[in-house]
Structures are given as C-alpha cells and as structure tokens.
Amino acid sequence: MANPTDRDLVAQAKAGDQAAFGALVRRHQRRIFRLAFHLVRTGAEAEDVTQETFVRAYQALDRFDGRSEPFTWLYRIAVNLSLNTIRARKATRDSTPSDDPRIEALLLETRPSHGNDPAAISHQKRLAAALCDGIDKLSDTLRTTLILVCIDGVGHDEAAKILGCPEGTVAWRVHEARRKLREYLTERGFGGDAT
C-alpha cells in the first residue's frame, strides 16, 4: 500500500506489524510533541509525554475500537498525560522565563520579520512573552482547548472528540480563553496590538 491511512496502519499494527505502528508514530510524533510542549511547557517533559503517549497507545491497540480517528485517540492520550504531568508538579512557575523557546516559536510562526528594527523586535518579544505567560495562567481546561484549536489547528469537531465534550463547549472555551488573554494582555499594555 503506497500511502496507508491511519486506520490501515492501526489495523496492520493490531495484526502484529510493528513497522505499521512505527509509521503511525513517525506520522504523528511531531504534532504530539508540539501539543505536549505547549501544555507542559518544557522540552524534556514534552518528550516524556510524547514517548508515553505512543507506549500507551501500543499497549491499548487491541482496545482501539475505531469509533474515532487514530489521531484523535492519540491526541486524547497526549492531553491526559500532559494534564497529569502538570498536576504532578509540586512547584509552579509564576512567570514565563525570557528564554522560553515558545516565545521564539511564536515570533517565527505568527509575526512578519521586522528586519533590524531593535525596538520592533523588542516589542514583539515582550508581547510574545506576555502571551505565553497569559496562556500559562489559563485554567488547564481553557489552555488545553485553546492550544488544540488555535495553536495546533484542530477543528472544533475533532477537539470535542479529543476532550470528550460537545462542540459548543469547545467554541465557548476558545472564546473564553481568548477573552481572558485579551484582558491579560490589555492589563500589561498590549491592548491595541494583541488581537
């Protein structure tokens, strides 16, 4: 099969084809890591969550019933493991460190280059740091939903399946998270350019 679907790979893996499961891992590993990284906020923990996601998925292959897409199933495992990691932490950070790699990722992904304008670059870095800090201050539920939909680009229907809630709840959570972020950024002086 030239380009098997996720469902094909799961069926092959269930039949004992380890290479098929390896292909499924390679297909989704980067997205699972990105999701976990945005949720747990450290590379090492995100790597642990990513690895554990695929370990758990492999162990549960026989229980995958096909009612959802395999990617949705993997995302749900990753979200649950990420939230467990966050809850297991004894100490929480009060603010986002200035060397947080999410800041650079936000600047590269969402903002056009400002050339060599130091003032514009500095402003964008402060805005990105405030945005990361604001996301970190959201509740686990709002942060997870916002990251799935707005950062990872998962549709409301898939996010609802991943999170186990109605689509309307996903839409409300995204709206509420954005409202809280706008409020947070406005309080920090980024009112006009933080939409």
pLDDT band at 105 (very low <50, low <70, confident <90, very high): low
Q: Is the pLDDT of residue 100 over 70?
A: no
Q: Are 70 and 10 in contact (CB under 8 A)?
A: yes
Q: What pTM value is reported for the model? A: 0.75
Determine the pLDDT at residue 95: 47
Instruction: Tell me the pLDDT tens digit for each residue of 132-178.
Output: 889 988 999 999 999 999 988 999 999 999 999 999 999 999 999 99
Instruction: Tell me the pLDDT tens digit for each residue of 110-145.
Output: 445 555 677 777 888 888 888 888 998 899 999 999
Structure tokens at 142: 């709002």
Determine the pLDDT at residue 33: 96
Closest CA to 151 of 188, 181, 124: 181
Q: Is the pLDDT of residue 107 over 70?
A: no
CATH number belonging to domain 94-195? 1.10.10.10
Look at domain 1-92 and name its CATH class.
Answer: mainly alpha
Sign of the CA dihedral 77, 78, 81, 86? negative
- d(CA 165, CA 172) in angstroms, rounded, equals 11
Determine the pLDDT at residue 115: 58
Question: 93 Cβ partners below 8 Å, 6+ apart?
Answer: 41, 136
Closest CA to 47 of 59, 57, 35: 35
Closest CA to 107 of 126, 125, 95, 133: 125
Instruction: Tell me the pLDDT tens digit for each residue of 63-91.
Output: 998 888 999 999 999 999 999 998 887 54
Instruction: Tell me the pLDDT tens digit for each residue of 10-46.
Output: 999 999 999 999 999 999 999 999 999 999 988 999 9
| Residue in the block written with tokens 């026989």 | 62
In the chain, ranges of CATH 1.10.1740.10 domains: 1-92
pLDDT band at 94 (very low <50, low <70, confident <90, very high): very low
- d(CA 77, CA 95) in angstroms, rounded, equals 27
Determine the pLDDT at residue 168: 96
| Residue in the block written with tokens 């469902």 | 7
Determine the pLDDT at residue 156: 94
Strand residue runs (E) in the chain: none
Structure tokens at 48: 């642990």
In the chain, ranges of CATH 1.10.10.10 domains: 94-195
